[in-house]
Amino acid sequence: MSVLEMKGISKSFGTVKVLQGVDLRLESGEVLALLGENGAGKSTLMKILTGVYAADDGQIFIDGEPVHIHRIQDSRALGIEIIHQELSLFQNLSIAENFLIGHEEKYRNTFGLVDYKKLHREVADALRRVGLQRPTSTLVGSLGVGEQQLVEISRALQSNVRFLIMDEPTAALTEVETERLFELIRQLRSNGVGIIYISHRMEELYQIADKVEILRDGQFIGTRVMAEAQERELISMMVGRDVDNRYPRVPTTPGETLLEVKGLTTQYVRDINLTVRAGEVVGLGGLMGAGRTEVARALMGIDKVTRGEIVFKGKPRRFTSPREAIREGMVFLTEDRKSEGLILPFSVRENLALSTLDQRKRAGLVNRRLEKVFASDMVKRLRIKVANPEQSVGSLSGGNQQKVVLGKWLAHNPDLLILDEPTRGVDVGAKQEIYQLINEMTASGKAILMISSDLPELLGMCDRVYVMFQGTTQGEVRGSAMNQEDFMTLATGGEL
């Protein structure tokens, strides 16, 4: 039984105070959820705990004894391990080799070479403990995200871990994988490991956390016993004001049919049937890997359509590149903003302007004055928190980055906006603003096709939802009958 305490932790970067006198208390055998918007200071606090950053002020205690953590190795020696949101595995190495890196001493034989026999034996044991049935020589890059996460956890457990930090561990997991992860967390908890669990998904916290600590703007707001905490209270603690309705969808009367898809088939999906009418928010749901993103890619002309019909704005269309689709008024906000949404070396202004350069050109040149006006208007309209549109986009928080990508597409004033995981990794406040933008768009007769793994969001924001199963549209849930049970029936291949 041990206790980890952080007391009065403060940290500034330049003049920005990221943490101001934050406390944290974690006992072994409990799961503490750390809740807060992007930029609230959760990651910084965890980086201080693991020795990545040094605190300006404050102290860390284990069992009442002050400890000094200056490097990652220090925290490791104290039994503190972290599983990052972005996994830190070498994709080009095998599972066993990933275990080897950093622990070479442990597997050195008498000749100073690697004792592979011992390595594979111990790694196999470790994998068994987390329930991953894969040969230890499997290339990590060939594993799914969920499996990779298990590898990472099993690696962390190799050392004598007393406190485990998990940063958004379920962000990329399927339902089944999430369930397996929770099982593992419960097992660790009963073995006396203290776990700090960071997630934006409130439903999950109720399932897994014992206590919850809320941070806002770098300050400690409070802790609650999870089972007794009201969701509404937690959200208002996080946001600093009351949020009346988590999914403030304002339905409109649907107009004429904007998009009609019949029997759409590509290499990845088959026989997709769906319609979207002006003013509608139509959901595209299903389990991870059901082919949701692939439908969007087929519509946009990224993946080749082998069969089927797409009628967009009354004309049969088969776009052969996103460029054509965009020109006709169909745009696509991709799920991975770092690799598919943003140009990281570019400024906020340049990212916002990227898809509408032609609208502001004069004699082939960029009209920089117009572009600056455009960018600052967009920053205002979307309430992007940025000191200056000239700031590099990489320095923004996740929610603000997402708004930049959204702004890039809204600039087009598209007829159909395809949103793929529009609020992934986005905090509650920014989520609300994105939902409001969705309402604004549909109120002006535009339509949204929304893909989301966040089921409450999908059912809460969409007027209708098509559910996909194994690469095809299995069915549709709509109206007041939309519920999670029906959704899951369809998503797992059942019929209504």
Based on CB atoms, which residue is closest to another protein, 119 or 410?
A: 410
| CA–CA dist 477, 488 (Å, integer) | 10
Query: In this structure, what are the phi and psi dihedrals at residue 156, rounded to the nearest 5 degrees?
Result: -65, -35
Binders of another protein among residues 381 to 410 (CB under 8 A) are 408
| CA–CA dist 10, 54 (Å, integer) | 10
Stretch that binds another protein, among 12-20, 59-67, 106-114, 338-346 (CB under 8 A): 338-346
Based on CB atoms, which residue is closest to another protein, 232 or 368?
A: 368
Stretch that binds another protein, among 25-33, 99-107, 169-177, 344-352 (CB under 8 A): 344-352
From the CB of residue 291, how many other CB atoms can be counted at a distance below 10 Å? Answer: 23
Based on CB atoms, which residue is closest to another protein, 232 or 323?
A: 323
Does residue 3 contact residue 26 with C-beta atoms inside 8 Å? yes
Q: What sections of 318-418 are H helices per DSSP?
A: 322-327, 348-353, 368-381, 398-410
Reference 39, options 217, 184, 207; nearest CA is: 217
- Please state the closest distance from residue 454 (CB atom) to another protein, in A: 23
Based on CB atoms, which residue is closest to another protein, 353 or 416?
A: 353
| Residue 246 DSSP one-character state | S
Based on CB atoms, which residue is closest to another protein, 188 or 342?
A: 342
- The single residue among 343, 373, 443, 496 that binds another protein, judged by CB under 8 A, is 343
| CA–CA dist 89, 147 (Å, integer) | 12
- The single residue among 345, 369, 388, 484 that binds another protein, judged by CB under 8 A, is 345
Q: Does 355 bind another protein (CB under 8 A)?
A: yes
Stretch that binds another protein, among 43-51, 78-86, 188-196, 335-343 (CB under 8 A): 335-343
- The single residue among 227, 366, 373, 443 that binds another protein, judged by CB under 8 A, is 366
Stretch that binds another protein, among 40-48, 179-187, 303-311, 327-335 (CB under 8 A): 327-335
Q: Which residues contact 323 (CB under 8 A, 6 or more apart)?
A: none
Does residue 99 contact residue 126 with C-beta atoms inside 8 Å? yes
Q: Does 373 bind another protein (CB under 8 A)?
A: no
- The single residue among 44, 334, 453, 489 that binds another protein, judged by CB under 8 A, is 334
Q: Does 364 bind another protein (CB under 8 A)?
A: yes
The angle at the Cα of 308, spanning 304 to 311, to the nearest 5 degrees, equals 95
Question: Token match 């230890």: residue?
Answer: 136
| Residue 114 DSSP one-character state | B
Stretch that binds another protein, among 85-93, 98-106, 279-287, 359-367 (CB under 8 A): 359-367
Q: Does 323 bind another protein (CB under 8 A)?
A: yes
Question: One-letter amino acid identity for 349?
Answer: R
Q: Which residues of 157-181 are buried (b: 16+ CB within 10 A; e: fewer)?
A: bbeebbbbbbbbbbbbbbeebbebb
- Please state the closest distance from residue 52 (CB atom) to another protein, in A: 8
From the CB of residue 231, how many other CB atoms can be counted at a distance below 10 Å? Answer: 13
- Please state the closest distance from residue 343 (CB atom) to another protein, in A: 4
Stretch that binds another protein, among 36-44, 131-139, 305-313, 353-361 (CB under 8 A): 353-361
Stretch that binds another protein, among 128-136, 262-270, 350-358, 445-453 (CB under 8 A): 350-358
Stretch that binds another protein, among 22-30, 176-184, 243-251, 321-329 (CB under 8 A): 321-329
Number of residues that bind another protein (CB under 8 A): 29
- Please state the closest distance from residue 469 (CB atom) to another protein, in A: 27
**3-class SS at 270?**
coil
- Please state the closest distance from residue 371 (CB atom) to another protein, in A: 10
Does residue 55 contact residue 139 with C-beta atoms inside 8 Å? no
Quote the tokens at residue 87. Answer: 């996994």
- The single residue among 21, 29, 255, 322 that binds another protein, judged by CB under 8 A, is 322
Q: Does 361 bind another protein (CB under 8 A)?
A: yes
Q: Does 206 bind another protein (CB under 8 A)?
A: no
Residue 412 vs residues 70, 180, 321: alpha-carbon distances, Å: 49, 42, 17
Binders of another protein among residues 268 to 307 (CB under 8 A) are 300, 302
Reference 329, options 344, 319, 343; nearest CA is: 319
Stretch that binds another protein, among 110-118, 144-152, 242-250, 346-354 (CB under 8 A): 346-354
| CA–CA dist 131, 125 (Å, integer) | 10
Quote the tokens at residue 459. Answer: 């059912």
- Please state the closest distance from residue 440 (CB atom) to another protein, in A: 22
Q: Does 326 bind another protein (CB under 8 A)?
A: yes
Does residue 22 contact residue 43 with C-beta atoms inside 8 Å? no
| CA–CA dist 496, 486 (Å, integer) | 7
Question: Token match 């409130």: residue?
Answer: 202
- Please state the closest distance from residue 133 (CB atom) to another protein, in A: 34
- Please state the closest distance from residue 90 (CB atom) to another protein, in A: 15
Based on CB atoms, which residue is closest to another protein, 128 or 327?
A: 327
- Please state the closest distance from residue 327 (CB atom) to another protein, in A: 7
Quote the tokens at residue 328. Answer: 């006709």
| CA–CA dist 429, 280 (Å, integer) | 23
Question: Token match 């439903």: residue?
Answer: 203
Interacting residues with another protein (CB under 8 A): 300, 302, 321-323, 326-327, 332, 334, 339-346, 350, 353-355, 357-358, 361, 364-366, 368, 408
